[in-house]
Chain A
């Protein structure tokens, strides 16, 4: 795209949403999901909508392509796409826009690909549905037209629909090599350039004019480059095109991959396939609805980097929906913050981040774990050290506690093997892991999915038998426990699980849920148990009336606080938090982390904190264990891991924290 085009287009917004209102019809009457939301997207720009779940960010974006779920409908405001009002469009009219002008990368890569069709078929579907299938006759016609226009001296790429075909690729390579040598390159230089071409020029990926430009860049004469491009780039078949799109989205070996089924793909690969589908028809705007929130951080970084590069080279604008402020600030030029269905603040991303003005944005910036640079300081200590420099105080205090801390849990040479179905060799989920948790401190186990961190947690909780190795609790081997000792162990080591929607029995009232551990261990009578439940609810800062409610009436964060109350009921020494805050919104997550931290300071608890999120680790942990593929890669204090990572993997993890390098100036 030339500069001229850029300027003339930039002056006119691609998408302009003003005063948008969306309502959902429910049995209890209409519910307003979005009230008066306005934002603008310019061509080629990344705009991020940030907000917690239920803030209306996805609803706003989906109304742009007429994909509101269920009973949702636009009741007011205007949506203009390139100056044309589309808010009143029928589904049929929307079909004309979807894919062609506005693409979508949906949130959940696991459920958004049809498991019974090959990946290639699904990409092909996107091409055909948008009338982008270049048939043989049409191709030759196109080639002719292009040749004519080029002869007249008009040369541009945006209409060029001819891609490298697999049948002509060998000839193209050979000719290019000859041309390179003719242009005065040495054998070695030519080989290097050819290696680069071999990576880039996958059938279906590069158009005629880009082949020409690539050759010119390698010092081939313009006329010769044009001759090669027009002779050997005469059009790709559909399969080439599918492979090309997948290559473009960053899938290696695309031709083979296209013949595979979704279940053979990892989460990251599926997301790449979805990106290929979203961009198949070269839309002007791509709506990316939390495209990476289900993926590991390192994968997220790779995919977003690639998407960034891709949209930049295609000139596609991206409307990026996320709950992660750090991610939004890092990727987008313009940020729109939504809260309770309304836009509360918008502006250039760094400015919004560095000088948040609306109290909600301020709160969000303060709570964002990816932007935090130090451990949360407990309420008690906050009070003590009002005058002292907080970080200094923390360092001093932690050094102090480090010396006094005694080991409460020790893990020695832990190994866990699982039998794989239909395979002889065993799968090593945990491979020779040793570390210890000191009393009164937080030890975090960090790793991506499949690293074996949860398996370690379950073995420490005595829910899984280790294949070999020992878990010592206060110096005693937990494997050797008899029934009575085990019950006593259960009393002192408590878990809090990841899924706030699954960890409480939906049939049990909150009172019964929290009372259950007391009942199992036969503690107190009915009256004293009731008093204890009330006390525990106070501890997790929930009103006592919550007692009579059921889990389905509570939010995720509230349920997680109930789960913490239940874990606290028996006055344990150790709490094992398995991704306890991963499913929560930023503010709620911050609230729960602070609660955990205050409880630790008050009761001298030790935490084993399992998480995939290094940002959270910084906020809560004293020690960090980094795991990869079942092996322990690094074990050190948090400060050491963050300031002086020893292994490449840890460095990659740290790099992948979104917005980790952004500097904040909180007023």
Chain B
């Protein structure tokens, strides 16, 4: 075996002739042309992870449906006057509980206000609470979670315990107690603050987890070895890499904040009663459930569709950003 002269190898080959199907075989070269080792396919356009995610999203019917609905809801929230001509606060007791008629497709409520107009105008309050709460929650929860996850040790211990304490307080119970103190306030901000106060916890937990995962990737060590300071590394590398799950949670919980706002308004401690909102209207209509169910039905339907479309959007975004299907 050590000899390399062709003679001995030939005799060896003769001595143990290959079995049928195991003869020496060499594929013709033109069938598999040899490619350059590890060359870059320059025919494909360059694309980042976000571009890739967008491409997946665009093809997802769930995303298309929810996007159309959300655009519609946004339009209604920004320009309610385009959709309803009347004044939501103009009520005429003469029409109390009148059924639907021309120009008033949803009928009238107990006070004789047009249900359609009130539903359209209620959009803005619900949506702003949802969006503002989400923004606040992502900033506060994201920051706290990122610091806890990145620095670990006692920072993590302290921040995580604080998170746990807030986690232990039921949202509604906490919100009722806090909002009782600000009954007189007339702004939507009190609802936003209360929801954010009890809502940042889940985002903080998610961020902490994904930051802990991202900070252990080797590129952080590489950056540190390049001389980047730790805190700069957090903002330049770690946070951008842990955003995806936070975005998913934020989109999904936007819907739930709208529900919470409606619940609080329903309980009479949410938005001020002078403000038109779905929760307030549902609350007012509950006593009429037997007499005039449609008064309750329409604002509830609007609420359900809005929440559903945001949750669907969250699902679609998660599919696109799923860290498991992502080719890291």
Contacts and interface: CB of A to CB of B under 8 A. Distances in A.
Contact of A552 (B52, B218, B224): B52
B295 to A, nearest CB: 47
Interface residues of B, number: 48
Contacts of A348: 13, 16, 18, 22, 24
Contacts of B221: 463, 495, 497
Nearest to A47: B22
Contacts of A596: none
B37 A490 contact: no
Interface centre among B13, B18, B219 (most CB of A within 10 A): B219
A542 B40 contact: yes
Contact of A505 (B24, B37, B237): B237
B219 to A, nearest CB: 5
Contact of A553 (B9, B26, B44): B44
B37 A347 contact: no
A133 interface: no
Nearest to A40: B21
A428 interface: no
A347 B327 CA distance: 37
Contacts of B18: 334, 347-348
A596 B250 CA distance: 46
Nearest to B25: A346
A517 B227 CA distance: 8
A558 B38 CA distance: 7
A509 B226 CA distance: 17
Nearest to A501: B328
Main secondary structure of the interface of B (DSSP, over half): loop
A502 B328 contact: yes
A359 B34 contact: yes
B240 A507 contact: yes
Contacts of B218: 497-499, 502-503
B223 A42 contact: no
Given A548-B46, A552-B52, A347 B22 contact: yes
Interface string B1-41: 11010000100010010111111111101011011011010
A73 B4 CA distance: 43
B38 A587 contact: yes
B181 interface: no
A29 to B, nearest CB: 14
B225 interface: yes
A346 B16 CA distance: 16
Interface stretch (A251-259, A320-328, A349-357, A430-438): A349-357
B22 A663 contact: no
Contacts of B226: 490, 494, 516-517, 520, 566, 570
A552 B327 contact: yes
Q: For B9, B27, B224, which residue has the most chain A Cβ atoms within 10 angstroms?
A: B27
A491 B225 CA distance: 9
A360 interface: yes
A339 B32 contact: yes
A555 interface: yes
B112 to A, nearest CB: 56
A557 interface: yes
A461 B225 contact: yes
Nearest to A13: B21
A73 B38 CA distance: 27
A570 B222 CA distance: 14
B48 interface: yes
A591 B37 contact: yes
Contacts of A550: 46-49
Contact of B37 (A345, A554, A587): A587
Nearest to B327: A552
B21 A16 contact: yes
Interface in B272-326: 326
Contacts of B35: 340
Interface in A241-282: none
A57 to B, nearest CB: 14
Which of A342, A358, A546, A558 gathers most chain B CB within 10 Å? Answer: A358
B328 A552 contact: yes
A354 B327 CA distance: 39
B48 A509 contact: yes
A506 B49 contact: yes
Nearest to B31: A342
B241 interface: yes
B27 A552 contact: no
B241 A507 contact: yes
B165 to A, nearest CB: 27
A548 B223 CA distance: 20
Contacts of B25: 343, 345-347
A505 B235 CA distance: 13
Contacts of B37: 363, 557, 587-588, 591
A587 B35 CA distance: 12
A336 to B, nearest CB: 9
B49 A507 contact: yes
Given A344-B32, A463-B225, A516-B226, A591 B38 contact: yes
B27 A345 contact: yes
A358 B31 CA distance: 11
B217 interface: yes
B42 interface: yes
B269 to A, nearest CB: 43
A555 B39 CA distance: 9
A646 interface: no
Interface string B213-252: 0000111011111111000000001001100000000000
A543 interface: yes
Interface of B: 1-2, 4, 9, 13, 16, 18-27, 29, 31-32, 34-35, 37-38, 40, 42, 44, 46-49, 52, 217-219, 221-228, 237, 240-241, 326-328
Q: Which 9 A-B pairs have the closest CB atoms?
A: A40-B21, A347-B24, A490-B227, A502-B218, A665-B4, A549-B46, A503-B218, A557-B38, A548-B46
19 contacts: A40-B20, A40-B21, A342-B32, A345-B27, A348-B18, A351-B24, A491-B227, A495-B225, A497-B222, A501-B328, A506-B49, A520-B226, A521-B227, A543-B42, A550-B48, A550-B49, A587-B38, A663-B1, A663-B4
Given A345-B25, A504-B219, 15 more contacts: A10-B19, A16-B21, A39-B21, A334-B18, A340-B32, A350-B1, A355-B9, A360-B32, A495-B225, A505-B241, A507-B49, A516-B223, A517-B227, A520-B228, A557-B38
